[in-house]
Amino acid sequence: MEGAELRQVRRWLWAELAVSRRPRGSPLAASRWAGDSVAAVRELRIALADAVAAGEVSAVDASVWAAAACLDGVRTSKAVLAAKLGLASIRSLDARLDTVDQVLAGRLGAEGAAATIRPVAGEALAIAALSEAAVARSNGEVESAEAYERLAREHQNLSTDGPRRSGADRVRRHRAGNRARPALARLATRLPAVPRLQPAGQDGRLTQLSYQLFDDAELAVGELDRAWRNSAAEAYPLLVDHAMRVTRPLRPGERIRLHLLELVVNIVRDTDSALTLPVTTRWLREAVTGAGPASRAAVAATRSRAHVLQLHGHLDLARSELDRALAVFPMVRFDRLEDRWSEYMDLLLRRAAAELCLGAAADRELTARLVRRAKDVPGALASVQLARVELNLDVLRLDLGGVRANANSALGRRYSRRQAQLVEALDVERGRFPLGALNSLVSAAVTVGQGATGIGELIERSLPRLDVQPAWANQFYRLRLILREATAGRRRAVDPAIVPLVPYAIRVEGTLPTAAKYLV
């Protein structure tokens, strides 16, 4: 199959779906799909999703091709597409479309199976390896987890922070490695399974739940949505398992499946567990297949996966994910302008946070530009998230410049103003975001060398005003981790025991972040 045939298909689809007055013929469309544009769209979306997952085309180029073929049923001229990409001419756009034509021709030309034009990209292999390692650790399969972690480090410059080697038998480690290596390429291209959530130890006690198990997919997902909004963490394992079962007959990428996967991602991500990686990967793959790479769901899935990668120290992967999401963002359509601004600011601030995690190696100019762009978003100045990122940027400047936070300097005064802004957020709000603000304040105070007395007073004054809920266990875990690292090697430090130990409702042993420096 030639790229020229796919070019004809693209033009035929545009004429069919945009209801053009100039119908175009395509021999390939007639022979492969019998002129059925719906069948063509379904297969081409899957091929595009597979090509993006394998690293054969970028998400931006895939979304442009989808728009040029009118896969979403929205007419968009080439001039508009070229302008969105910042290209100088339509000829430059055609060159990028031709590249995607060639990739799709190679994939569709393989009899019954997707062609592989080049090996799976290193990033996809690394994320697949990290996902398998998280699942293995949660199941107690230590040797298998270590084997996949070694493979992940081979494919990307990953952090070595994490659980130490178990000291297991060398023969068992060798066998686990022999099983993992040939399986990785296959695992990187398939839809990963959603890990089955298991409740944390309940000592044999029965828990009464006020939720129903509906056989209808829409109602089952709606019940899980209600539980998540009520922070009913004890109900998550049962409701997630049931909703996944009743939605199994649906095609990947259908609206209700995407909503379910988003809910599961939110639930698992709230634990900061590495088990979020396979769930976000499945959500991303189904979103690209069902709604296209330039969809809100695809961008949200990419952003969520990047956040978890950052928390676990995989900064190169996290920054790359966020850069891709920002690149494709101009092509994304939102029903409400407020949602567009909110998602855009979230992407900018998460990208800035991932850069700040590099510490002395961070690009401070890039971070400052991202923060300035976030400030231009309507309503940004009232954002607690923006204040947290700005505080961390000031902390980095103070730390690198060797300036004390209480010094009579412009930087010191700005740091103090930022501190006061977050303290005010603690006073007027309750819930998860003020807990995040408290974590940022404590982490900043530790970094700039604030005394233990002041830090302890801040925590003791703030905690009674904040709700202690099982769904927010990750924020309390983060605070204890920050204090535990600050305590090491110091005679005068704050005892982490002053922070309540809130148990997780979902079992996450071995899959939590281990270094406070990545919790920006």
Give a yes or no: residue 341 inside a domain: no
Is residue 150 domain-shared with residue 102, that is, in the same domain? no
Nearest to 371 by CA among 381, 360, 357, 361: 381
Give a yes or no: residue 343 inside a domain: no
pLDDT digits (tens, 9 = 90+) for 447-489: 877 777 778 888 888 877 776 777 788 888 998 999 888 876 5
Is residue 259 domain-shared with residue 408, that is, in the same domain? no
Distance between CA atoms of residues 143 and 130, nearest Å: 14
Which residues does residue 199 pair with via DSSP β-bridges, in sequence order?
A: 506
Averaged over 55-61, what is the pLDDT? Answer: 86
Is residue 283 domain-shared with residue 406, that is, in the same domain? no
488 exposed, middle or buried (CB, 10 Å; 0-12, 13-18, 19+)?
A: exposed
Is residue 150 domain-shared with residue 78, that is, in the same domain? no
Residue 280: HSE in the Cβ half-sphere, 13 Å Cα cutoff: 28
Is the pLDDT assigned to residue 404 strictly greater than 60? no
Is the pLDDT assigned to residue 299 strictly greater than 50? yes
Which of 190, 218, 251 is at the close of a domain? 190
**How many domains, the chain?**
4
**pTM of the shown model:** 0.80
Averaged over 229-233, what is the pLDDT? Answer: 87
Provide the pLDDT confidence category of residue 118 given band limits of 50, 70 and 90.
Answer: very low
Is residue 391 domain-shared with residue 495, that is, in the same domain? yes
CATH number at residue 283: 1.25.40.10
Is the pLDDT assigned to residue 34 strictly greater than 50? yes
Question: Which has more pLDDT, 54 or 57?
Answer: 57
Cα dist. 301→53, 261, 294, 328, 496 in Å? Answer: 13, 9, 12, 13, 33
Cα dist. 180→130, 143, 191, 439, 458 in Å? Answer: 12, 10, 17, 38, 47
Give a yes or no: residue 369 inside a domain: yes
Which of 170, 190, 210 is at the close of a domain? 190
Give a yes or no: residue 355 inside a domain: no
Give a yes or no: residue 354 inside a domain: no
Per mean pLDDT, which range of 25-39, 53-67, 348-362, 381-395 is the poorest? 25-39
Cα dist. 478→460, 500, 512 in Å? Answer: 16, 11, 10
Is residue 364 domain-shared with residue 508, that is, in the same domain? yes
Is residue 197 domain-shared with residue 172, that is, in the same domain? no
Is residue 210 domain-shared with residue 185, that is, in the same domain? no
Identify the sign of the CA torsion 151, 155, 157, 159: negative
Cβ proximity of 7 and 1 under 8 Å = no
Which of 190, 222, 239 is at the close of a domain? 190
Is residue 9 domain-shared with residue 81, that is, in the same domain? yes
The pLDDT > 90 percentage for the chain reads 26
Is residue 283 domain-shared with residue 378, that is, in the same domain? no
Give a yes or no: residue 266 inside a domain: yes
- 390: its two tokens: 């700005």
pLDDT digits (tens, 9 = 90+) for 87-112: 888 888 888 889 888 888 888 775 33
Is residue 151 domain-shared with residue 205, that is, in the same domain? no
**Per-chain mean pLDDT for the chain:** 82
Is residue 163 domain-shared with residue 227, that is, in the same domain? no
Give a yes or no: residue 338 inside a domain: no
Range of the domain at 49: 3-109
Three-state SS for 199? strand
The terminus-to-terminus CA distance of the chain in angstroms comes to 49
Nearest to 103 by CA among 2, 17, 202, 35: 2
pLDDT digits (tens, 9 = 90+) for 274-298: 999 999 999 998 888 888 888 899 9
Give a yes or no: residue 115 inside a domain: no
Distance between CA atoms of residues 448 and 460, nearest Å: 20
